């Protein structure tokens, strides 16, 4: 391995000199925190750099890490000089280790594996120390490979059992997993030994392709890794994106492209689904979800590609494809189980990303208005704007004489700031909506300047942990004005910062440096409290089915802290109800609600599993664990689709919506499914109970 006699790094790339200078200046003078990049930040960045280089602890030995440690307090000096020696030496050592591990993995998979030993594999790298010897590293790989081979063999055996049972779809009787019916029966060997050999060959082929990709880094990859180690010490939303990543900023595998319609991000060694584009192919198909880890991608007629540790933009290119073609994703759900999900690529039907209204009612009960807002959309390139659509829906609801309104912004990740201000203004008379503070401490107050509100009906804003950014501005302002009761399954996401995209090539004729996404401002509510980190806490809390998913700002390293500034004077709504009593009465109803009981039990079960990352490698023990987990989940999980409808729903027509494109052999029942889901939604049903008390 590397030694003091190792070859010296090449002269600095002129692009890296310019890049380092530009990024350093922006971070120190434009970032919200205004911190100097010094030795203290260097030491924090070094730890992050090692995680970016080998977060899974599957390549570098402790001696490699020790060798790189001499740079731990020199990263700031390297940025000032433009000579990124740590980046290039780290890349060189890593690639040497990749070559060694490549041979190691091939040797391990060349022989049959023992699935009878009583041992375990730890899948959480945070619970592991770096290996100290080649033998220790090889044993770590042996255990991971044994698990992967066992899982593939099990998939083949489940497929055989499924075919033998004569089942048309779904799971075979007594199976532990959903059956992957895409596995061709003719390709499955008849003997256990043959299936094990086939599984080893598939895993070896997958890793060989992966290691080949690792040995072909992009021209600015080394610099990008080091710079992002520095930016992440300031906050989790400041990132450097080299030119080839610029087009995939906040990647949506769809939009104007043909794909599946998902937003992806890197998480440890994997690619995680951070959000689904409303109206996209994955959103309509219904099986892919936020928090899923994508493990593999396969096009029909081609070999599956294992994408662990793959570059984000490479994964995007694998998943994108022509409309009408099918892509298969192998994903790991947050509870640990894996699924094969087939999605037909398509162009996003943008109509489904727009606000939607409905009249909801219990039997012989009062009429209530329901508005679903998936995002704050608008801008010069779209024919519609969220605040204008909501104004139209509110007019229709008012004509129906509804006695209360539910504004549902669950899973609304935000959007246009100005539209959030305009929409909030529809519910209040006038006054401040949000305060924005920059790195210099200057505060700008964005106000609703127009007197009057469109409705005076009692109002609930329904939120969850995925309601973020502009959603939090709306919910926070309406809570401060006491205009609405905030109801939700948790505090909102807690992202109260603003990022700007700075073009580092603005003085150049050709793109060679890329862009810096940098946090420049922070949001504050009219009360002066920030939405950052803490989000908006609901006045009334309901059970949270996804509480086991760590997805909020509070879970991110180096998140900017909560703070307060001066209140922006504002009036408050004169209400006739007692929010404390509403919350107490709601809690009593929730206790008596069998569905909410199951939701709580399911969330508790999945939370307990989240940290159980040691997997048995003895086949009988592994199989027993899989069956036990499946049986436990089936015993408590509610089947909301089979729950009797508690509400009648009449969807309001959207005069601006286009007609769905007819698809031969397929009925477009998305609106009917949305209506059926709303009629059975226990959270919306509880909102109706709360509105009944707010009259």
pLDDT (tens digit per residue) in 302-350:
888 888 767 777 788 788 888 889 999 999 888 778 899 999 987 654 5
Q: What is the pLDDT of residue 161?
A: 87
- What are the tens digits of pLDDT across the range 648-692? 999 998 877 654 444 334 344 667 888 999 999 999 999 999 999
User: Mean pLDDT lowest for which of 111-120, 381-390, 414-423?
Assistant: 381-390
Q: What is the pLDDT of residue 2?
A: 45
Across the range 481-498, mean pLDDT stands at 96
Alpha-carbon distances of 98 from 15, 61, 211, 270, 284, rounded to whole Å: 27, 12, 7, 17, 39
Reply yes or no on whether the pLDDT at 177 is more than 60: no
Q: What is the average pLDDT value for the chain, to the nearest integer?
A: 88
Reply yes or no on whether the pLDDT at 530 is more than 50: yes
How far is the C-alpha of 271 from the C-alpha of 269, rounded, in Å?
7
How far is the C-alpha of 246 from the C-alpha of 505, rounded, in Å?
12
574: confidence class by pLDDT, cuts 50, 70, 90: very high
Q: What is the pLDDT of residue 662?
A: 42
Q: What is the pLDDT of residue 301?
A: 79
Across the range 526-555, mean pLDDT stands at 94
290: confidence class by pLDDT, cuts 50, 70, 90: confident
- What are the tens digits of pLDDT across the range 239-261? 998 876 554 443 333 233 457 87
How far is the C-alpha of 224 from the C-alpha of 515, rounded, in Å?
11
How many beta carbons lie within 10 A of that of residue 106, not counting itself?
13
Across the range 1-25, mean pLDDT stands at 75
Instruction: Look up tokens 């009648």; give the residue.
Output: 648
Pairing of strands 120-122, 239-241: unpaired
Pairwise pLDDT comparison (277 vs 41), residue with the higher score = 41
Q: What is the pLDDT of residue 468?
A: 94
Furthest C-alpha separation in the chain:
85
How many beta carbons lie within 10 A of that of residue 21, not counting itself?
14
DSSP E strand stretches across 211-347:
239-241, 262-267, 270-276, 293-298, 305-306, 326-332, 338-344
User: Mean pLDDT lowest for which of 72-86, 203-217, 551-565?
Assistant: 203-217
Across the range 10-39, mean pLDDT stands at 91
Across the range 503-521, mean pLDDT stands at 85
Across the range 566-579, mean pLDDT stands at 94
Q: What is the pLDDT of residue 641?
A: 86
**405 in Cβ contact with 368 (< 8 Å):** yes
- What are the tens digits of pLDDT across the range 207-221? 987 898 888 888 889
Question: Residues for the chain: how many in total?
Answer: 695
Q: What is the pLDDT of residue 255?
A: 30
Going 263 to 30 to 531 to 480, the CA torsion angle's sign is negative
Q: What is the pLDDT of residue 254?
A: 28
Across the range 195-212, mean pLDDT stands at 91
User: Among 404, 602, 401, 403, which Cα is nearest to 484's?
Assistant: 404
User: Mean pLDDT lowest for which of 198-212, 278-292, 343-357, 480-494?
Assistant: 343-357
Core vs surface per residue 176-198: b (16+ CB within 10 A) or e: bbbbbbebeeeebeeeeeebbbb
């Amino acid at each position: 391995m590397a030694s003091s006699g190792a070859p010296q790094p090449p002269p600095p790339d002129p692009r890296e000199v310019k890049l380092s200078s530009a990024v350093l200046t922006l971070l120190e003078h434009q970032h919200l925190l205004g911190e100097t990049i010094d030795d203290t930040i260097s030491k924090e960045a070094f730890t992050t750099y090692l995680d970016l280089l080998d977060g899974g602890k599957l390549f570098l030995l402790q001696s490699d890490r020790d060798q790189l440690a001499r740079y731990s307090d020199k990263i700031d000096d390297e940025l000032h000089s433009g000579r990124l020696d740590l980046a290039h030496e780290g890349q060189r050592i890593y690639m040497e280790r990749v070559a060694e591990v490549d041979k190691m993995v091939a040797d391990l998979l060349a022989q049959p594996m023992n699935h009878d030993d009583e041992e375990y594999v730890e899948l959480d790298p945070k619970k592991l120390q770096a290996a100290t010897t080649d033998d220790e590293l090889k044993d770590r790989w042996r255990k991971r490979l044994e698990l992967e081979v066992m899982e593939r063999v099990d998939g083949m055996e489940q497929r055989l059992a499924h075919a033998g049972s004569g089942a048309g779809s779904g799971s075979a009787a007594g199976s532990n997993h959903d059956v992957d019916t895409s596995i061709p029966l003719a390709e499955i060997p008849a003997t256990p030994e043959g299936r094990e050999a086939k599984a080893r060959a598939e895993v070896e082929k997958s890793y060989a392709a992966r290691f080949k990709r690792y040995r072909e880094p992009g021209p600015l990859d080394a610099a990008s890794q080091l710079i992002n180690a520095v930016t992440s010490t300031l906050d989790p939303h400041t990132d450097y994106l080299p030119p080839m990543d610029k087009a995939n900023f906040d990647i949506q595998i769809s939009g104007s492209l043909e794909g599946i319609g998902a937003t992806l991000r890197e998480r440890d060694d994997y690619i995680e689904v951070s959000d689904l584009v409303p109206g996209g192919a994955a959103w309509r198909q219904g099986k892919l979800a936020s928090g899923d880890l994508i493990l593999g991608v396969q096009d029909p007629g081609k070999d599956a590609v294992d994408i662990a540790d793959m570059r984000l933009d490479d994964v995007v290119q694998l998943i994108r494809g022509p409309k009408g073609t099918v892509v298969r994703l192998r994903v790991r759900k947050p509870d640990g189980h894996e699924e094969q999900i087939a999605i037909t690529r398509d162009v996003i039907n943008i109509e489904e990303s727009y606000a939607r209204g409905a009249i909801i009612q219990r039997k012989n009960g009062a009429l209530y208005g329901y508005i679903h807002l998936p995002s704050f959309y608008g801008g010069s390139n779209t024919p519609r704007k969220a605040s204008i659509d909501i104004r139209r829906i509110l007019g229709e609801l008012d004509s129906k004489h509804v006695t209360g309104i539910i504004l549902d912004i669950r899973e609304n990740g935000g959007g246009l700031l100005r539209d959030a201000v305009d929409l909030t203004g529809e519910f209040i008379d006038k006054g401040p909506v949000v305060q924005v503070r920059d790195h210099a401490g200057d505060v700008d107050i964005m106000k609703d300047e127009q007197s009057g509100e469109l409705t005076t009906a009692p109002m609930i804003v329904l939120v969850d942990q995925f309601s973020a950014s502009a959603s939090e501005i709306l919910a926070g302002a309406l809570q401060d004005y006491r205009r609405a009761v905030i109801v939700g399954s948790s505090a909102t996401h807690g992202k109260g910062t603003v990022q700007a995209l700075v073009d580092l090539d603005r003085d150049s004729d050709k793109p060679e440096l890329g862009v810096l996404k940098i946090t420049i401002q922070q949001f504050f509510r009219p009360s002066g409290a920030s939405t950052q980190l803490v989000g908006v806490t609901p006045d009334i809390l309901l059970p949270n089915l996804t509480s086991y998913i760590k997805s909020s700002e509070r879970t991110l390293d180096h998140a900017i802290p909560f703070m307060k500034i001066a209140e922006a004077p504002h009036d408050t709504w004169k209400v006739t109800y007692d929010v404390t009593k509403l919350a107490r009465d709601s809690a009593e109803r929730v206790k008596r609600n069998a569905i909410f009981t199951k939701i709580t039990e399911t969330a508790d079960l999945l939370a307990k599993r989240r940290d159980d990352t040691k997997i048995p490698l003895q086949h009988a023990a592994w199989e027993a664990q899989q069956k036990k987990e499946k049986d436990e989940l089936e015993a408590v999980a509610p089947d909301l689709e089979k729950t009797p409808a508690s509400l009648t729903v009449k969807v309001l027509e959207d005069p601006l919506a286009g007609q769905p494109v007819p698809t031969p052999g397929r009925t477009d029942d998305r609106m009917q499914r949305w209506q059926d889901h709303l009629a059975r939604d226990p959270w919306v049903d509880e909102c109706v109970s709360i509105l009944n008390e707010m009259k």
